[in-house]
Amino acid sequence: MHDVAAWAQRILSAVETVFFGKREVIERLLVALLCRGHVLLEDVPGMGKTILARALAASLGGRFTRIQCTPDLLPADILGVSVYNPQDGTFTFREGPIMANVVLVDEINRATPRSQSALLEATGEGQISIEGVRRELPDPFFLIATENPVEFEGTFPLPEAQQDRFLLSMSIGYADRSVEQRIVDSQRRLTHPVVDVVAVTEIGEVPTLQARVVQVHVDQDVMDYISGLVEASRAHQHVRIGASPRGTIALYKAAQALAAVRGRDYVIPEDVKELCRPVFAKRLILTSQAMIRGVTADSVIASVLESVPTPVIPEQRT
């Protein structure tokens, strides 16, 4: 998996020239991309989510689009629309911003459920349907959605079923003092540094690398560990609905991708542990009593990880 690791290192280095101090966040985006999954970034405004998406797209050499969600956004504004040509009496399809390699859906919870649902087929099947015609999305297709967790006026919370469509859910978090000072220092220019990010790979390489990730070995003990974590999430006293089978698949595939990004052709339990929170974060529905008591999904996931013994796989024994 050295080719995947080398590719990931080039992307990481390129993005880190404008997005500082959050290497783990960039790495997890690459994990989702290699799994043909999508990411939900839940954070307050001004944390660099748009810059991160733009830098990733530029370093990949792919097309980037941004959709700013508002209550009056229509599905046609996302998917595209047929425009009538009065000269010859025909309709011409005009592609929407969904037709890109990296799509940033900003503040997805400000869009109405009707517009949110327009993204379901795109994220789940890699295609869209308009006027009875199916249109394939670009390959690769990677969607990054953001939502503001502290401002709820004029928003439409994502249904649990739609949250489950995202492979990973995570937040960027505040930078420490030295990193924030570096961010400020990088802005001493008329244009943002992200315009200088150049492609360090070809977008056409991604499908080949995605196929390589599928070949990463998962030991039966690690598979049992993943199943144990999923079962523990469903049986937890504070959980009403635990991780779905899609969550099991997401944890399995994400662990494969993380192993490949780090140059291994096999998964270790630490890969699963590291990705358990971003995979399970939006897939656990807590009981009403737990929410009243202030129990969080993070604390439940920590409890689940403590309750399931970590296996020792053969590669670790030797």
The answer regarding whether domain 2-192 maps to CATH 3.40.50.300 reads yes
pLDDT of residue 20: 92
Q: Are 229 and 239 in contact (CB under 8 A)?
A: no
The DSSP H or E segment spanning 40 is: strand 39-42
Residue 318's pLDDT band (boundaries 50, 70, 90)? very low
Domain borders along the chain are: 2-192, 215-309
Q: Round to whole Å and give the CA distance between 270 and 275.
A: 9
3-class SS at 173? coil
Mean pLDDT of 110-134: 87
CATH of domain 215-309: 1.10.8.80
The pLDDT tens digits for 65-96 are 999 999 999 999 999 988 888 888 888 888 99
The pLDDT tens digits for 159-207 are 877 888 899 999 998 989 999 999 999 888 888 889 999 999 999 999 9
Query: Which tokens in the block code for residue 123?
Result: 């994220």
Q: Which residues pair with 57 in a beta bridge?
A: none
pLDDT above 90 covers a percentage of the chain that reads 67
Tokens 């489950």 label which residue?
Answer: 164
pLDDT of residue 317: 44
Q: Are 32 and 254 in contact (CB under 8 A)?
A: yes
Q: Are strands 90-95 and 80-85 parallel, antiparallel or unpaired?
A: antiparallel
Name the CA dihedral angle for 118, 123, 128, 129, rounded to a multiple of 10 degrees.
Answer: -60
Closest C-alpha to 55, from 199, 224, 156: 199
Q: Are 143 and 187 in contact (CB under 8 A)?
A: no
Per residue, the 3-state secondary structure of 218-270, as one string, reads CCHHHHHHHHHHHHHHHHCCCEEECCCHHHHHHHHHHHHHHHHHCCCCECCHH
Q: Round to whole Å and give the CA distance between 89 and 85.
A: 6
pTM for the full predicted model: 0.92
Q: Are 301 and 284 in contact (CB under 8 A)?
A: yes
pLDDT of residue 160: 79
Q: Round to whole Å and give the CA distance between 310 and 308.
A: 6
